[in-house]
Structure 1
Amino acid sequence: MPPVRRNFPESPLMPSLRSIILVLLVTVTLLGCSTAPPEGLRPVTSFDLDRYLGQWYEIARLDHSFERGMSDVNATYQLDDDGSVKVINRGYDTGRQAWKEAIGRALFVGDRHTGSLKVSFFGPFYGGYHVIALDQENYRWSLVAGPDRDYLWILARDKTLSADIREQLLGQARVLGFATEKLIWVDHQRIDPRE
């Protein structure tokens, strides 16, 4: 016996419902890929990309799925021929007991002397990378915000940061509205085989 086919007329609400869902998906996608700094935050000026290039160690971060369970995290920034910045993030996945690496690309959002960039690890989708505090004398540490106050990193050229600088950066982040009590302090016990 052939299957019974029932043809139901399409509801007149279906096209508008589809449109609403599509608009919501596009809006959520665009909001999730914001490259502007969070409201009220100003990236550093007199930013010198040449001095910022090289390796940085992640001292602390707010938790996110893409770094969950990671220790020994570092980031290397290299200038590409096209003027973009190659971003190489590496860390040790404690669950899988293996090193992981992600390679991305960063571009300035505006003026090259302002520490505001957009970074992509997934094709055309960019997120904000905003240097909001920086050791402008020696480029030894930086405080970096993402597209909103759920993203924060403390970076340093060494695997440790002095207590006074740590407290200074925590104080700045707290005043700017970041949940510093939720920071994860990154362990740097392993030696990256690529170092």
Structure 2
Amino acid sequence: MLAACGGNRVKDPIPPVPQVDVERFMGDWYVIAQIPTRLEREAYDSVETYTLREDGKVDTTFRYRDGGFDEKIKTLHPVGTMREGTGNAIWGMQFVWPIKAEYVIVYLDEDYQQTIVGRSKRDYVWLMARTPAIPEADYAAHIARIRALGYDVSKIRRVPQSAAGASRPVEAPATP
């Protein structure tokens, strides 16, 4: 994720959703698929957890296993800051001071169960859900959305997720 911290000077900003109810957005989000940063190339069981602070910033815990389900869980703790005037849809995600990576909520379903987070550079994207797996029809619709936003969807990687309470992992089908 640190690689996502580069400059954000882009002629064609990625369009955010009009409004995000931040309190509803808080909690756990499983990473279903992504165009990964260097740290996420072989991530398994990736989960982002957001917690709203009293000062309006968002404490984030990113948990993942690097290379397989049997690997030790690694964590990162960036802090999100919502940009004023964006309906809480554009954040600066700070992994290292003073750099804030662009974090744009480009899709959010009305039930706050599935979301897509992107960047104007179209270099990284994250499809996330409240559950470790989503229906294939939803996945296909999200890939179409990501493509329409200007991403090269051939770079998308499905993130293998362990099923909660199951004895074996949820299989990650090949990328379209």
TM-score using structure 1 length: 0.75
Gap change, CA 1:38 and 1:80, over 3 Å in 2: farther
CA–CA separation in structure 2 for the residues paired with 1:167 and 1:108? 29
**1:179 to 1:189, Cα distance in 2 relative to 1, 3 A:** same
How many residue pairs align between the two structures? 160
Query: Following the alignment from structure 1 to structure 2, what is the Cα–Cα distance between the partners of residues 179 and 170?
Result: 10
1:130 aligns with 2:104: yes
CA contact (8 A) 1:72 1:190 kept: no
Structure 1 residues not aligned, in runs of 5+:
1-30
CA positional deviation for 1:145: 0.3
CA deviation after TM superposition for structure 1 residue 112, in Å:
5.6
8 Å Cα contact 2:18-2:86 kept in structure 1 = no
TM-fit CA distance, 1:111 = 2.3
Aligned match for 2:157, one of 164, 178, 184: 184
| Contact 1:38–1:149 (8 Å) recurs in 2 | no
Instruction: Please state how far the C-alpha of 1:190 moved relative to its aligned partner.
Output: 7.1
Unmatched runs of 5 consecutive residues or more in structure 2: 165-176
* Richer in helix (by share): 1
Residue 157 of structure 1 corresponds to 130
Normalised to the residue count of structure 2, the TM-score between the two structures is 0.83
Instruction: Indicate how the Cα distance of structure 1 residues 160 and 58 shifts in structure 2: closer, same or farther if over 3 A, else same.
Output: same
Residues 79 and 112 (structure 1 numbering): CA distance in 2 closer, same or farther, change over 3 Å?
Answer: farther
Distance 2:97 2:21 in 1: 26
Q: Specify the alignment match of 2:141 in structure 1.
A: 168
Distance (Å, rounded) in 2 between the aligned partners of 1:63 and 1:47: 24
Establish whether residue 59 from structure 1 lines up as the match of residue 59 from structure 2: no
The CA RMSD over aligned residues, in Å, is 2.2
Deviations 1:105-148 (A, max 9, x none): 0011222624111101112111010011110x200000110241
CA-to-partner distance for each residue in 1:34-79, whole Å, 9 max, x for gaps?
Answer: 2x78725210012110110000000001122121221100000001
Contact 2:43-2:66 within 8 A present in 1 as well: yes
Cα distance in 2 for partners of 1:157, 1:37 equals 31
Report if the CA contact (8 A) 1:37-1:128 is conserved: no
Alpha carbons of structure 1 residues 112 and 175: separation in structure 2 relative to 1, 3 Å:
closer
**Structure 2 CA distance for partners of 1:144 and 1:37, relative to 1, 3 Å:** farther
Q: Are 1:98 and 2:66 an aligned pair?
A: no
Q: Which of structures 1 and 2 has the bigger CA Rg?
A: 1
| Structure number with higher strand proportion | 2
